[in-house]
């Protein structure tokens, strides 16, 4: 073997090793947990009256958001979190790997279910709302906090809604938010674990106090949206009908009915996002 042949063999061997190494890393590498009960010096609390009912019984309370996981759909049926004005720091954070949620007894769906599916790994509790802390930011990359979203929906109308909620967070100082896809029995699925693709996503936003509440809810199809956000406002009752989840169930019945029946549209100031 002459020098040119030897160099070519070495180069080819190194290239093959790199390709194999990358494939192994991409398919089998799993980082450790992003959080543990004692990891954080502080936690972001969600008041008990804002915790919805769980149809699955699989509830997890992370340090900076909580969720109820639907194993048949391989995603959360709701995620709830608090957004304070002080949370909106916009610190630059390096995006970590998506990993399965180690605090679920069944764990959550592997992120590889999304590869080549044509759907984004859409955050439910947005990473951008948790940039105030490295741990809080990384927690949003548990796969229990993602759901398959149409890319144009995720980058379009859903992103517009997340921006609007941040504007309200700055204006009103504190919000409580519940969000997820509407999980039904006949949904399209992706990946080896049959992750369901919701047809609709909802978001419920609460401000004020139990004695003086203001609530607004959105229901948006999982496709490119061309209407303004106001056109997607619905009652909480409508979301309960579609999801089978009870919101505000711990409140007095008269107050619960008042909150859930109306849309609250006139109590929230919308800012043009685009």
User: Could you report the per-residue pLDDT of 213-237, keeping only the tens digit for each?
Assistant: 999 999 999 999 888 999 999 999 9
For the record, the structure tokens of 101 come out as: 């949620």
Task: Give how many domains the chain has, as a whole number.
Answer: 2
Higher pLDDT, 40 or 158: 158
Residue 36 inside a domain? The answer is: no
Q: Are residues 160 and 94 in the same domain?
A: yes
Residue 104 inside a domain? The answer is: yes
> What pLDDT is stored for residue 146 in this prediction?
98
Q: What is the pLDDT of residues 163-172, one digit of tens each?
A: 999 999 999 9
Residue 56 inside a domain? The answer is: yes
Q: Are residues 22 and 51 in the same domain?
A: no
Q: Are residues 8 and 108 in the same domain?
A: no
What average pLDDT does the chain have?
A: 87
Higher pLDDT, 120 or 271: 120
Q: Are 100 and 25 in contact (CB under 8 A)?
A: no
Residue 131 inside a domain? The answer is: yes
Q: In this structure, what are the phi and psi dihedrals at residue 55, rounded to the nearest 5 degrees?
A: -80, -15
Residue 157 inside a domain? The answer is: yes
pLDDT band at 264 (very low <50, low <70, confident <90, very high): confident
Residue 88 inside a domain? The answer is: yes
| Residue 29 reports pLDDT greater than 60 | no
Q: Are residues 14 and 88 in the same domain?
A: no
> What pLDDT is stored for residue 201 in this prediction?
98
Residue 165 inside a domain? The answer is: yes
Q: Are residues 1 and 88 in the same domain?
A: no
Please report the sign of the dihedral spanned by the C-alpha atoms of residue 7, residue 8, residue 11, residue 17: negative
Residue 37 inside a domain? The answer is: no
Q: What is the pLDDT of residues 77-126, one digit of tens each?
A: 999 999 999 999 988 888 999 999 999 988 899 999 999 999 999 999 99
Q: Are residues 14 and 46 in the same domain?
A: no
Q: Are residues 156 and 192 in the same domain?
A: yes
Cα separations in angstroms, 97 against 18, 45, 70:
20, 25, 22
Q: Residue 262 sits in a domain of what CATH number?
A: 3.40.570.10
> What pLDDT is stored for residue 26 in this prediction?
47
Gap between the Cα atoms of 189 and 133, Å rounded: 34
Gap between the Cα atoms of 26 and 214, Å rounded: 45
Q: Are 204 and 182 in contact (CB under 8 A)?
A: no
Q: In this structure, what are the phi and psi dihedrals at residue 160, rounded to the nearest 5 degrees?
A: -60, -45
% residues pLDDT > 70 (the chain): 84
Q: Are residues 130 and 59 in the same domain?
A: yes
Please tell me the pTM assigned to this model. 0.86
| Residue 244 reports pLDDT greater than 50 | yes
pLDDT band at 5 (very low <50, low <70, confident <90, very high): low
Q: Are residues 9 and 143 in the same domain?
A: no
Structural domain including 145 reads: 42-267
> What pLDDT is stored for residue 260 in this prediction?
84
Q: Are residues 13 and 105 in the same domain?
A: no
């Amino acid at each position: 073997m002459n020098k040119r042949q030897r160099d070519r063999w070495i180069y080819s061997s190194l290239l093959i090793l790199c390709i194999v190494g990358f494939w192994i890393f991409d398919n089998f590498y799993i980082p450790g947990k992003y959080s543990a009960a004692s990891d954080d010096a502080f936690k972001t609390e969600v008041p008990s009256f804002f915790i919805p009912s769980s149809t699955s019984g699989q509830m997890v309370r992370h340090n900076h958001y909580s969720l109820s996981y639907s194993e048949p759909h391989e995603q959360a049926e709701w995620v709830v979190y608090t957004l304070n004005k002080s949370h909106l720091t916009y610190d630059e954070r390096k995006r970590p790997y998506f990993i399965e949620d180690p605090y679920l007894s069944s764990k959550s769906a592997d992120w590889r279910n999304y590869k080549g599916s044509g759907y984004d790994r859409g955050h439910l509790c947005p990473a951008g709302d948790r940039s105030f802390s490295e741990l809080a930011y990384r927690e949003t990359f548990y796969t229990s906090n993602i759901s398959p979203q149409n890319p144009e929906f995720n980058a379009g109308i859903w992103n517009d809604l997340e921006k609007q909620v941040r504007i309200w967070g700055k204006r009103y100082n504190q919000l409580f938010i519940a969000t997820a896809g509407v999980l039904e029995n006949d949904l399209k699925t992706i990946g080896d674990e049959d992750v369901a693709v919701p047809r609709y996503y909802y978001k419920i936003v609460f401000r004020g106090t139990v004695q003086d509440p203001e609530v607004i809810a959105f229901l948006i199809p999982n496709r490119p949206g061309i209407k303004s956000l106001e056109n997607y406002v619905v009652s909480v009752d409508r979301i309960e009908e579609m999801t089978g989840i009870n919101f505000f169930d711990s409140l007095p019945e008269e107050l619960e009915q008042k909150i859930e029946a109306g849309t609250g549209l006139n109590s929230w100031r919308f800012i043009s996002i685009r």
